[in-house]
Structure 1
Amino acid sequence: MYLEIVSPEKVLLSAEVDSVTVPAIEGEFQMLNNHAPIISVLEKGVIKVEGNIEISKDLKEVVNKAQDGKWHFPIKGGVLEMKNNKAIVLAD
């Protein structure tokens, strides 16, 4: 599936990924390819992205790769929309 993580300052990620896990208000959940359409409010936490992606040098101070092999993007909150194998996160 395709994932975009966008902050007010810039696009943090725009890539094909295997999975994404988000910190939603009602609890953390994971999305894989062909996930049902959903819109969700996100709370402060970490977006976990699994896949073979390239992280720009200017993001390496903020984004890290955890021991589980997933990339961790910390957020203060935001909104997620998933439909047609494309997830867009508008993150604070």
Structure 2
Amino acid sequence: MFLEIVTPEAILFSSEVDSLTVPGVNGEFQMLNNHAPVVSVLREGIVNIHIHSQTNIELDDLHGKLVPDEADDKILTLAISSGTLELNDNKAIILAD
């Protein structure tokens, strides 16, 4: 699935991912490839991005909010205060604050 995370300041992430876990208003949920279409409001919490490898991922100053998980280097985490998520046709877009 393709994931794009956009904030008012910049595009923080744009790449293929294996799965995605987000803090929905009714609880945390995970999406994999070929997931049914979803539109959801996100609450404050942690977005977990499961990637195949970090070879094509740049974690520079612009993307400094994305942090590799200490226990698993194939998981990137992003703290958000709120946002919205749309997933359709294996493309997820998160508009985050």
Q: How many residues align?
A: 91
Q: Secondary structure at the match of 1:46?
A: strand
Name the aligned partner's letter for residue 40 of structure 1: S
Name the aligned partner's letter for residue 79 of structure 2: P
What is the rounded CA distance, in whole Å, between the counterparts of 1:28 and 1:42 in structure 2?
9
1:1-92 aligned at under 5 Å gives the runs: 1-51=1-51, 52-53=53-54, 54-58=57-61, 59-60=63-64, 62-66=65-69, 67-69=71-73, 70-92=75-97
Ranges in structure 2 where 5+ consecutive residues have no aligned partner: none
Between 62-71 and 41-50, the greater mean CA deviation after superposition: 62-71
TM-score (norm 1): 0.93
Over the aligned positions, Cα root-mean-square deviation in angstroms equals 1.1
Which runs of at least 4 in structure 1 moved beyond 6 Å after TM superposition? none
Ranges in structure 1 where 5+ consecutive residues have no aligned partner: none
Shift in Å, 1:63: 1.9
